Amino acid sequence: MKAYLFPGQGAQFEGMGKDLYESSVMAKELFHKANEILGYEITSIMFKGSAEDLKQTKVTQPAIFLHSVISAKLLGDQFQPEMVAGHSLGEFSALVAANALSFEDGLKLVYQRAMAMQEACEMEPSTMAAVLGLEDEVVEEVCENIDGIVVAANYNCPGQLVISGEVEAVNNACEALKEKGARRAMVLPVGGAFHSPLMDPAKEKLAQAIRETNIKTPVCPIYQNAVAKAVTDKDQIKENLIAQLTAPVKWTQSIQQMIKDGGTEFYEIGPGKVLTGLMRKINREVQAEKLA
């Protein structure tokens, strides 16, 4: 079975999308429509902005969404998904690609999500850290025994887990994890504690917008981050999207479930090739490649 994967925040790069814009009339129309929806020239930042410009959450998230969704649309009949998944933000790209969400509604939700997350980040100093070389259970146990808020946030692949929470708690957890034998426990240059309880204010803001958005039954199952299993029920899709802001990204578990359910060919669509790299660490036996 063919599975398509869509990247999340961190996949952005300078000049992203310019080649798509210049090579296709459809892409050009969609980029112009995006500028109208957002009320600012995101194309200008994507095509000409600096790495620093692209790092702003309110720019990064819609930029990655646009690159991913337009890339999928340009594949035309070549795009025949039997299952889809997206890493964090990528879940919105996956839903548009699976015809569960319109391009316009997807972009509006992504922008609202980005703004709500930005606001939540500004409310309290918080951060994330990558932990390499430890079993998930060890990382979880260390986090549970640290004072303050720090939780497992991104299960990226075996031996690579991202933790998220209050600055002091994350720093203390990093020290404790190094003592436990972590190969690395490194604070990441991010705006805040994504996929942690500190995103509760963003979750409350976004919940109403998601519930009011028209989401249809997707053309194929979507494996959602919060539950790591196939979902096709539109109401369940909405609830999982809301839960996703404070729940961990169960990426390893999602990919393992997709393979168990018959996934044999995995194609990454969108900027970068981070997910293709993670696939090879999760399971080397299945085909994994960057498609667009």
CATH number of 2-122+197-290: 3.40.366.10
Our measurement of the distance from residue 60's CA atom to the centroid of its chain's CA atoms, rounded to an integer in Å, reads: 11
Entry pTM: 0.96
End-to-end CA distance of the chain: 19
Mean pLDDT over the full length of the chain = 96
179 versus 291: which is more confidently predicted?
Answer: 179
Distance CA(115)–CA(36), nearest Å, equals 17
- Choose the catalytic residue: 88, 93, 164, 196: 88
| Cα dihedral sign, 13-49-65-186 | positive
- pLDDT tens digits, residue range 112-150? 999 999 999 999 899 999 999 999 999 999 999 999 999
Alpha helices, H only, the chain = 18-23, 25-38, 42-48, 51-54, 57-74, 90-97, 103-123, 136-144, 167-179, 200-212, 234-243, 251-260, 274-282
Distance CA(32)–CA(45), nearest Å, equals 13
**78, burial (CB in 10 Å: exposed 0-12, middle 13-18, buried 19+):** exposed
Distance CA(190)–CA(154), nearest Å, equals 14
pLDDT band at 286 (very low <50, low <70, confident <90, very high): very high
Q: Is there a shared CATH topology between the 2-122+197-290 domain and the 124-187 domain?
A: no
Give the percent of the chain with pLDDT over 70. 100
Q: Is the pLDDT of residue 40 over 90?
A: yes
Residues 6 or more apart whose Cβ sits within 8 Å of residue 118? 56, 57, 58, 191
Distance CA(144)–CA(222), nearest Å, equals 31
Distance CA(3)–CA(25), nearest Å, equals 27
- pLDDT tens digits, residue range 15-37? 999 999 999 999 999 999 999 99
* Active site (annotated) includes residue 88: yes
What crossing angle do the helices spanning 90-97 and 234-243 adopt, rounded to 10°? 160
Map out the domains of the chain as residue ranges: 2-122+197-290, 124-187
| DSSP assignment of 51-86 | HHHHTSHHHHHHHHHHHHHHHHHHTGGG---SEEEE
Q: Answer yes or no: are the C-beta atoms of 46 and 68 closer than 8 Å.
A: no
C-beta neighbour count of 19 within 10 angstroms = 11
Q: Answer yes or no: are the C-beta atoms of 136 and 155 closer than 8 Å.
A: yes
Q: What token pair was written down for 5?
A: 């994967």
What crossing angle do the helices spanning 57-74 and 103-123 adopt, rounded to 10°? 160
The C-alpha angle 277, 250, 189, rounded to 5 degrees, equals 65
The CATH superfamily holding the domain 124-187 is Malonyl-CoA ACP transacylase, ACP-binding (3.30.70.250)
* Active site (annotated) includes residue 195: yes
- Position 145 scores a pLDDT of 97
Q: Is the pLDDT of residue 56 over 90?
A: no
- Choose the catalytic residue: 87, 126, 164, 195: 195
| 148: amino acid identity, one letter | G
- pLDDT tens digits, residue range 247-276? 999 999 999 999 999 999 999 999 999 999
